[in-house]
């Protein structure tokens, strides 16, 4: 693998991907967003199929920014850089 091609969220040592990662983050954000967590009852293959369709069309759906957001220093530590991800050589599994 030489590039990341999906959304990954690592929580408590567990690697969550695609729709599962998105739903877990929405639950943690709270407010009305946590109501979407009920979608977790939908079978994973179907949730990820929908996730992939939205991901492919994301610019058409949500628009495109001229530049990526650069997180403030206090938030930067929450993100992994590509070198860290690919140098570990480990697949943490899970979903």
Q: What are the residue ranges spanned by the domains of the chain?
A: 8-86
What's residue 32's pLDDT? 93
CA distance 8 to 15: 7
- Concatenated DSSP letters of the chain: --S--S-EEEETTEEEEHHHHHHHHHHHH-GGGGGGGGGGGS-HHHHHHHHHHHHHTHHHHH---SS-----HHHHTTS--HHHHHHH-------
User: pLDDT by residue for the chain (95 residues), tens digit each?
Assistant: 455 677 889 888 899 999 999 999 999 998 999 999 999 999 999 999 999 998 888 888 878 877 777 778 777 777 777 676 666 555 444 44
Q: For the whole prediction, is pTM greater than 0.85?
A: no
CA distance 83 to 87: 6
């Amino acid at each position: 693998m030489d590039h990341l091609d999906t959304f990954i969220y690592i929580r408590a040592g567990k690697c969550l991907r695609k729709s599962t990662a998105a739903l877990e983050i929405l639950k943690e954000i709270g407010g009305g967003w946590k109501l979407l967590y009920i979608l977790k009852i939908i079978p994973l293959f179907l949730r990820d199929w929908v996730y992939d369709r939205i991901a492919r069309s994301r610019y058409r759906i949500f628009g495109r920014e001229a530049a990526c957001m650069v997180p403030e220093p206090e938030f930067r530590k929450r993100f992994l850089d590509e070198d860290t991800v690919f140098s570990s050589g480990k697949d943490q599994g899970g979903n």
